[in-house]
Amino acid sequence: MIEAFIHEWGSLLLRWAHIITGIAWVGASFYFMHMDAAIRGTPDLPSEKGGEVWEVHGGGFYQVRKYLIAPDFLPQHLIWHKWQAYTTWITGFFLLVWIYYLGADLYLIDPDVLVISPWVAAGFGIVGLAAGWLVYDQLCKSDLSKNDLYLSVACFVLVVVAAFGFQSVFSGRGALIHAGAFMATIMTANVFFIIIPNQRVVVADLKAGRNPDPALGKQAKQRSAHNNYLTLPVLFLMLVGHYPLTFSTPYAFVIVALVLIGGAVIRVFFNMRNAGQGDQWWTWGVALLCLAGAVAISLTSTPLGRKAIAITQKIDGGVPMKVSIAPDMITDIVAGRCSMCHARQPSYRGIVIAPKGIVLDTAADVARHARSIYVNSVLSTAMPPNNVSGMTLSERRQIASWIEGRTR
């Protein structure tokens, strides 16, 4: 009993810490990208040597200067923006372990995809994250780095292939969270292995009166730009675990691809606007098309999508006839397949309170939560998690017929 409470509170506190640190990292990233784009040369600091930007916030005025050469002096204490990235990844990794690796039978392992042990699943996930960084880093150090477009396409393919690989091993929910963690690992490793070390060399050169190697700044800037364009897709994939229609499709990796494109072009809009290069409104059209494509995939290709479920029967001549399903039959199905977790006194190990407070003990409970049941067990197969209770296709069709009948 106490272990279940510890797990629940641990999940909450880790998620809270992850969100707080993530806000700090994303906020700092967006701010510096905006500031870099807004920097303008001045008479005493021309653009080839740096520039400045004036800002107003909270009733005060701020003059921010950027130096590309050694300034007149450097303070002993510089603010290094790195721990936002590190703590975001650390809390995210522990959250991944806490929910997905310790609860692999519910959230990560889907026997219909691949039968593996929790240890093997966790090992595959961790190795996948590490391998992703290594491959990405080699791409960035190859000749592709000389052309930002070619490198971006190669990195895009890498992420989509990784998402497909995760989907071939894990449940849909587990696959998409790992696709997001895959990109987040690349982003954090960029900060830890490239951006911060390069900045330290530059600072040392400036303090010694030497001109920094431009290649160091160029490399760090390229990695920082990658982080900027990956931010929105990563945030999207951190949320999809709560929305089963996004991951209950054999084409979830295509949704990842569409979100990558959509998120990147939104950042293109803001980056170009901040740089004074005009408003590229076409980017919003592309983003909306990508999101519309993702929605269409989730609606038409889920294993038990609307088109695949027999919610009506046909008599001679093709005239549809409403199917009559007794409420008691539906209550029995839900009680048999769902109430081990969604009960006033759950019986499934490790669960002491019904998830999200949804109790399905009685016919009234089932009727009250009919929409949620429909989304999670009919339009998607998110519930029961990884079908641990063995809900059949026939039972899902009966639920669909009953709920569709209620809405007519």
Q: How far is CA 291 from CA 34, 181, 200, 254, in A?
A: 25, 21, 40, 11
Dihedral angle at the C-alpha atoms of 122, 85, 235, 36, nearest 10 degrees? Answer: -150
Q: Which residue is it, tokens 């999508």?
A: 305
Contact between 367 and 392 under an 8 Å Cβ cutoff? The reply is: no
- Examine the pLDDT at 38 and tell me if it is beyond 50: yes
Amino acid letter for position 356: K
- Which residue in 250, 266, 353, 342 sits closest to 303, CA to CA? 250
* Averaged pLDDT for residues 195-215: 85
Q: Which residue is it, tokens 């002096």?
A: 73
What stretch of H or E contains 92?
helix 83-96
Q: What is the number of other CB atoms lying within 10 angstroms of the CB of residue 383?
A: 25
Q: How far is CA 23 from CA 12, 20, 84, 168, 264, in A?
A: 16, 5, 9, 31, 19
Q: What is the pLDDT of residue 308?
A: 42
Which DSSP letter does residue 324 get? P
> Tokens in use for 84?
């936002």
Phi and psi of 239, rounded to 5°?
-100, -20
109: Cβ–Cβ under 8 A, 6 or more apart, which residues? 115, 116, 118, 121, 170, 171, 174, 386
Start-end of H helices in 97-213: 104-107, 118-141, 148-167, 172-189, 196-207
Ranges 56-60, 314-318, 330-334: which has the least confidence: 314-318
* Averaged pLDDT for residues 232-257: 92
* Averaged pLDDT for residues 301-330: 52
User: How far is the C-alpha of 329 from the C-alpha of 334, rounded, in Å?
Assistant: 9
Q: What is the pLDDT of residue 334?
A: 86
pLDDT-derived band of residue 317, with 50, 70 and 90 as boundaries? very low
* Averaged pLDDT for residues 153-178: 96
Q: What is the pLDDT of residue 319?
A: 42
**Per DSSP, what are the bridge partners of residue 53?**
64
pLDDT digits (tens, 9 = 90+) for 321-338: 344 566 788 888 888 898
- Of 94 and 331, which is predicted with more confidence? 94
281: Cβ–Cβ under 8 A, 6 or more apart, which residues? 269
pLDDT-derived band of residue 318, with 50, 70 and 90 as boundaries? very low
Contact between 386 and 106 under an 8 Å Cβ cutoff? The reply is: yes
Contact between 340 and 346 under an 8 Å Cβ cutoff? The reply is: yes
- Examine the pLDDT at 350 and tell me if it is beyond 90: no
Ranges 71-85, 166-180, 201-215, 321-335: which has the least confidence: 321-335
pLDDT digits (tens, 9 = 90+) for 115-126: 999 999 999 999
Amino acid letter for position 217: G
**Per DSSP, what are the bridge partners of residue 66?**
51
Q: What is the pLDDT of residue 136?
A: 98
Q: What is the pLDDT of residue 326?
A: 67
Longest dimension (CA), the chain: 90
Q: Half-sphere exposure of 362 toward its Cβ, with a 13 Å CA cutoff?
A: 4
* Averaged pLDDT for residues 71-99: 89
Q: What is the pLDDT of residue 52?
A: 93
> Tokens in use for 384?
């029961």
- Which residue in 132, 120, 115, 373 sits closest to 244, CA to CA? 373
pLDDT digits (tens, 9 = 90+) for 27-37: 988 888 888 88
- Examine the pLDDT at 385 and tell me if it is beyond 90: no
DSSP string, 340-363: TTSSSS--STT--S-GGG---SSH
Start-end of H helices in 240-391: 252-274, 282-300, 327-338, 363-368, 370-374
> Tokens in use for 90?
């650390």
DSSP string, 216-247: HHHHHHHHHHHHHHHHHHHHHHHHGGG-GGGT
pLDDT-derived band of residue 304, with 50, 70 and 90 as boundaries? low
Phi and psi of 319, rounded to 5°?
-85, 125
- Omega cis (within 30) before 250: no
Q: What is the pLDDT of residue 311?
A: 41
Percent of the chain at pLDDT above 70?
92
278: left (phi over 0), alpha (psi -120 to 50) or beta: left
Ranges 11-15, 203-207, 241-245: which has the least confidence: 203-207
User: How far is the C-alpha of 261 from the C-alpha of 153, rounded, in Å?
Assistant: 10
pLDDT-derived band of residue 105, with 50, 70 and 90 as boundaries? confident
Q: How far is CA 292 from CA 161, 167, 302, 381, in A?
A: 22, 22, 16, 22
Whole-number average pLDDT of the chain: 87
Ranges 62-76, 180-194, 284-298: which has the least confidence: 62-76
- Examine the pLDDT at 153 and tell me if it is beyond 70: yes
* Averaged pLDDT for residues 226-250: 91
Q: What is the pLDDT of residue 1?
A: 56
- Of 2 and 93, which is predicted with more confidence? 93
User: How far is the C-alpha of 189 from the C-alpha of 225, rounded, in Å?
Assistant: 14
pLDDT digits (tens, 9 = 90+) for 124-151: 999 999 999 999 999 999 999 999 999 9
